[in-house]
């Protein structure tokens, strides 16, 4: 009886280390980017900051100014929160970017045009447009990449920075921020070519994708 229980203890120890690892990972700072009057600030925050409270963010987080022309295509593996006031700045920051867990907060009462924002590998989306109309924060779970990938030969999307390798594409209609209604989405799997499968949606033709892969396309509106 002794050897199995020792093995059991070892296993429990290993699980403990694993759990601790997950715990400390959970404590990692999150990234907050906000745009305000032509200024872009990129912050690392250890605490959650009330949406659109710019001065509190400057006080509590470690922020640096990003020059608009210095924005580089990048990817975000953890939580990313963006406070924005117009689609131009948001598009410059996020269009064709890989983000898993995204929160978008509209911090102005601007009416946004119907324009799509393309995000790669999106798993969870939260939106807040409190500045426009008093409505609670909404969230949407798009897909849980981690679980699906265990029985798939495809590499998880996060390992690649390249947009070309993006298999899960989400298109967000920016006009959803104008509406009071709840977030809706639909996903279409096994799309070989976005441009050919959506002939009426000429907009998709502008997306730089290779045509020999199967995409999962999610439209959020
Ligand atoms: C913001 O900072 C994070 C890390 O601190 C970096 O990975 C990311 O590329 C930055 N984003 C922009 C738009 O500068
Ligand atoms: C985490 O955020 C705090 C401020 O909230 C900052 O002082 C610290 O430098 C950040 N840590 C990292 C690793 O960015
Ligand atoms: C994202 O890029 C596409 C293609 O260039 C463009 O048509 C669209 O308006 C952009 N979206 C935003 C929100 O900037
Ligand atoms: C898919 O297309 C890329 C170029 O877009 C090419 O390099 C690659 O060999 C193609 N793969 C297959 C399996 O056809």
Split at pLDDT 50, 70, 90, the class of 88 is very high
Determine whether the shortest distance from the Cβ of 109 to ligand 2 is under 6 A.
Answer: no
Q: How far is CA 90 from the centre of its chain?
A: 13
Gap from CA of 78 to ligand 1 centroid (Å):
12
- Confidence check: pLDDT of 24 > 50: no
pLDDT in tens, 61-74: 999 999 988 888 78
Gap from CA of 203 to ligand 1 centroid (Å):
28
pLDDT of residue 143: 74
pLDDT of residue 21: 44
pTM greater than 0.75 (yes/no): yes
Mutate to test the pocket of ligand 4, among 160, 208, 212 (most ligand atoms within 8 A of CB): 212
* Tokens at 14, concatenated: 């290993």
pLDDT in tens, 161-219: 556 667 888 999 999 999 888 899 999 887 777 666 666 666 666 666 666 667 888 99
* Tokens at 206, concatenated: 């502008």
Q: Rounded mean pLDDT of 39-66?
A: 95
Are 123 and 142 in contact by the 8 Å Cβ rule? The answer is yes
pLDDT of residue 162: 56
Q: How far apart are the first and last CA of the chain?
A: 59
- Confidence check: pLDDT of 153 > 60: no
Q: Which residue has the higher pLDDT, 133 or 220?
A: 220
| Alpha carbon distance 32, 61 (integer Å) | 9
pLDDT of residue 200: 61
Half-sphere exposure (Cβ direction) of 119: Cα atoms closer than 13 Å: 29
User: Which H, E and C letters describe the chain, residue by residue?
Assistant: CHHHHHHHHHHHHHHHHHHHHHHHHHCCCEEEEEEECCEEEEEEECCCCCCCCHHHHHHHCEEEEECHHHCCCCEEEEEEEEEECCHHHHHHHHCCEEEEEEEEEECCCCCCCCCEEEEECCCEEEEECCCCCCCCCEEEECCCHHHHHCCCCCCCHHHCCCHHHCCEEEEEEHHHHHCCCCCCEEEEEEECCHHHHCCCCHHHHHCCCCCCCCEEEEEEC
The β-bridge partners of 34 are: 41, 83
pLDDT of residue 51: 95
pLDDT in tens, 89-147: 999 999 889 999 999 999 999 999 999 999 989 999 999 998 888 888 999 998 765 44
Closest among 47, 43, 49, 158 to 99, alpha carbons compared = 158
Q: Which residue has the higher pLDDT, 185 or 153?
A: 185
């Amino acid at each position: 009886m002794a050897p199995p229980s020792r093995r059991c203890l070892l296993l429990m120890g290993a699980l403990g280390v694993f759990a601790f690892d997950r715990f400390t990972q959970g404590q990692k700072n999150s990234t907050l980017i906000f745009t305000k009057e032509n200024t872009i600030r990129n912050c690392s925050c250890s605490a959650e900051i009330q949406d659109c409270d710019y001065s509190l963010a400057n006080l509590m987080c470690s922020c640096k100014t990003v020059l608009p022309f210095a924005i580089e295509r990048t990817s975000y593996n953890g939580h990313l929160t963006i406070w924005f006031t117009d689609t131009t700045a948001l598009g410059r920051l996020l269009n064709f970017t890989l983000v898993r867990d995204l929160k978008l907060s509209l911090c102005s009462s601007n009416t946004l045009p119907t324009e799509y924002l393309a995000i790669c590998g999106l798993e969870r989306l939260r939106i807040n447009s409190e500045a426009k109309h008093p409505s609670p924060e909404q969230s949407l779970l798009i897909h849980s990449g981690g679980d699906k990938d265990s029985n798939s030969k495809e590499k998880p999307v996060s390992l690649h920075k390249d947009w070309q390798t993006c298999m899960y594409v989400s298109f967000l209609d920016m006009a959803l921020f104008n509406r009071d209604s709840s977030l809706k989405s639909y996903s279409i799997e096994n799309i070989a070519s976005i441009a050919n499968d959506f002939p009426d949606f000429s907009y998709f033709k502008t997306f730089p994708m290779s045509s020999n892969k199967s995409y999962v396309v999610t439209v959020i509106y």
